[in-house]
Amino acid sequence: MLPAAALAQEFDCVIEARQEVDVRTSAEGVIESVFVRRGDTVKKGTLLAKLSSGPEQATLNLARSRATMEGEVKAAETRMEITKKKWERAEELHKKNFVSADAKEEAEAEYRLAREQWRAATDNRKLAELEVKRAEEILAQRAIRSPVDGVVVALLLHPGELASSNQKDAILKLMEIDPLNVELVLPVSAYGKIKPGQRAKVTPEQPVGGSYTATVEVVDPTLDAASGTFGVRLRLPNPGYRIPAGVKCRASF
């Protein structure tokens, strides 16, 4: 804990967004729709924009059709059952010397071939189901969803424009502002006395005003020898986004 004199002392601070996110796409395509506007609040997973996806949707429909086709598997299963009965009958007749060993072996070979064909058809069905999942994943990449809870602060691309995974081609910009970060620079004399989990009172400058409780989240493990200071970050809950990011403040411990 800080001594009483330090507890009463206030320090300059800045309230910042938790993080700023440039929302991009991992696929390339023309933007078909944008579902948000600047200033909108969004939840993690909210659909923000959609790329044109005609070929991808067609591929998914084809994969689903193949995965639900049962004719090949049923035909192979029926053929396997018939040849199995034929083989079992040949074995019975061979025991009674009504058919030759060659005829019995031929019936067994037919059954084994039919069984392998059934296994191949079953494997093809499983591959078709996996192809459906792959096509769904590819189609899902055409839907751009919010990675965080936040606020839309800028729309950078619009319907009809080309979006890509290029570092410069963000579709829109989000800011996460609940919770907020409060950044402080404290004198080295306070080092070791500020601990993670400790509470602080944060007072934003006017016209925001008010007094809020924040929690120490990060204490820098290094000091700035030139200035004799170190950095501290507080975590400030901001339900309802009542406190804007980018405002100066005062903090006391």
Preceding omega of 207 cis (within 30 degrees of 0): yes
Return the residue matching tokens 């006391």.
252
Confidence of residue 8 (pLDDT cuts 50, 70, 90): low
For 200-218, what is each residue's pLDDT tens digit?
Answer: 999 999 999 899 999 999 9
For 79-99, what is each residue's pLDDT tens digit?
Answer: 889 888 888 888 888 888 887
CATH number of the domain at 4-18+177-252, out of 1.10.287.610, 2.120.10.30, 1.10.490.10, 2.40.30.170?
Answer: 2.40.30.170
- The proportion of the chain whose per-residue pLDDT surpasses 70, expressed as a percent, equals 96
| CATH number belonging to domain 29-52+142-175 | 2.40.50.100
List the single range of 30-34, 74-78, 182-186 with lowest mean pLDDT: 74-78
The residue ranking higher by pLDDT, 121 or 180, is 180
Distinct helix (H) and strand (E) counts, the chain: 4, 14
* pLDDT at site 6: 47
Q: DSSP label at 81?
A: H
Each domain of the chain, given as residue ranges in start order, spans 4-18+177-252, 29-52+142-175, 55-140
Is 135 exposed, middle or buried, given 0-12, 13-18 or 19+ CB atoms closer than 10 A? buried
Confidence of residue 167 (pLDDT cuts 50, 70, 90): low
Contact criterion met (CB below 8 Å) for 136 and 60: yes
* pLDDT at site 4: 47
Contact criterion met (CB below 8 Å) for 110 and 86: yes
Residue 132 has pLDDT above 80, yes or no: yes
